[in-house]
Amino acid sequence: MHNTLLTIITFIFVFGILVFVHELGHFFFAKKSGVLVREFSIGMGPKLVAFRRGTTSYTIRILPVGGYVRMAGAQEDESDELQPGTMVTIQTNAANEVIRLNASQKKQTLFQGIPVQISEVDLVDGLWIKGYENGDETEIKTFNVNHDATIIEADGTEVQIAPKDVQFQSAKLWQRALINFAGSLNNFILAIVVFAIIGLLQGFVPSNSTTLGHIVDNSVAQKAGLKEGDAIQKVADQPVKNWTELQTMLQSRPGKETKLVVKQGSMTKQITLTPATIKSNGQKFGQIGVQQVVKRNISDRLLYGFSGAYTTAANVLHALANLFHGGFSLNKLGGPVAIFANTEQAAKAGFISVLLLLAFLSINIGIVNLLPIPALDGGKLLLNFVEAIRRKPLSEDKENMVQIAGFIFLMLLMFAVTFNDVIRYFIK
């Protein structure tokens, strides 16, 4: 029970930071570009907490598996369209402009609110409401709406209306592209900071050279004659320039006889060994039982922020490149269930392991979000690129079709990955 609670708390902590930092990137650059951010949400589903600061409503929602920045006029923004016949309550200022509009079905009242049955409304260009006041159907009245008016939506969340001049599409193309890229940018920055913290806390950082550190007793490496201080230059006739390449090559050869070119002191020699086969998450990896050389000076520990992030990014990109190598398999992907399972292992291993998981996931999310798939940030950047080439955006209908197709694809993939993860981690 204690371990489960610790895992849940750690999962919410890790996922909460990842979502907050990612969405904060979109939020910051949207604000700087003059785009109205109507809502900043952590979590999905029904809201637990909501409050307003300035022109933005901040909400925490019940499901800790995502979040969003709701920018005026963007794909994620819900329409404020009020259908004819809808009953609302409005609140006006001294100039008789509507400053608050209650469209909620919940029992919320506005001070000195005026009941109005909507006949027509324009909250984007003209900024007016037409309707019957207090049930009097003999006269249609027109109410001007203040540019900064707010609307209480069906679920009770109060957000600012979205006039045309503060909508996402009103920003310059380069600003919209920067807003779309900013979430991943923040994830990369977070990973750099976390890796630097790890270096400072643990007192040492791994070197990315191909020089061997500790050799595990009775390991494949020790039995083959490898020693601490040896530098591996080639694996299976392929040159390796750093630890990442060395590790990748060895992991790709489980149970396969492998020739190494090794520099021992002033001599270069060939050593043949067979990496042991290690199974993890339904996949097989080669392992010979060697560890990296570690560095302990303060500058290397701080610079580990960059080197650790770079190494992790290279590994993620390599994994993406090999996603279809040897046949596509859902076991090569992981969703929230896989993250939860890895969080459980990290929580048991200690705080440093949790930080490593946080940094890895931050790089992972940053890169995956930049893939040119509709509904991801990379898909939006692709549309920005198409707009730059065409010198005009796609029509709203075509863009919506692309985004909907991408969303359906991602939902189907997420369902398949989650189902596969449940079988992998909890049934088999």
Residues with a known catalytic role: 23
Residue whose tokens read 């979040």 = 67
Tell me which DSSP letter residue 211 carries.
B
**Residue 99 class from Cβ within 10 Å (0-12 exposed, 13-18 middle, 19+ buried)?**
middle
What angle in degrees, to the nearest 10, is found between the helix axes of 377-390 and 173-202? 150
Give the whole-angstrom CA distance, residue 115 versus residue 281: 60
- Provide the sign of the torsion angle of the four alpha carbons 335, 337, 343, 345, taken in this order: negative
**Residue 204 class from Cβ within 10 Å (0-12 exposed, 13-18 middle, 19+ buried)?**
middle
**Residue 25 class from Cβ within 10 Å (0-12 exposed, 13-18 middle, 19+ buried)?**
buried
Give the whole-angstrom CA distance, residue 212 versus residue 228: 5
Residue 20's CB is within 10 A of a number of other CB atoms, namely 15
Give the whole-angstrom CA distance, residue 353 versus residue 208: 19
Beta bridge partners of 270: 261
Distances (CA, A) of 222 to 4, 172, 236, 273: 39, 61, 19, 10
For residue 62, the surrounding DSSP H or E stretch is strand 56-71
Q: Do 47 and 189 meet the contact criterion of CB atoms below 8 Å apart? A: no
Q: Do 66 and 43 meet the contact criterion of CB atoms below 8 Å apart? A: yes
Q: Do 25 and 182 meet the contact criterion of CB atoms below 8 Å apart? A: yes
DSSP E strand boundaries for 78-230:
87-92, 98-102, 114-122, 128-133, 141-152, 158-160, 205-206, 212-215
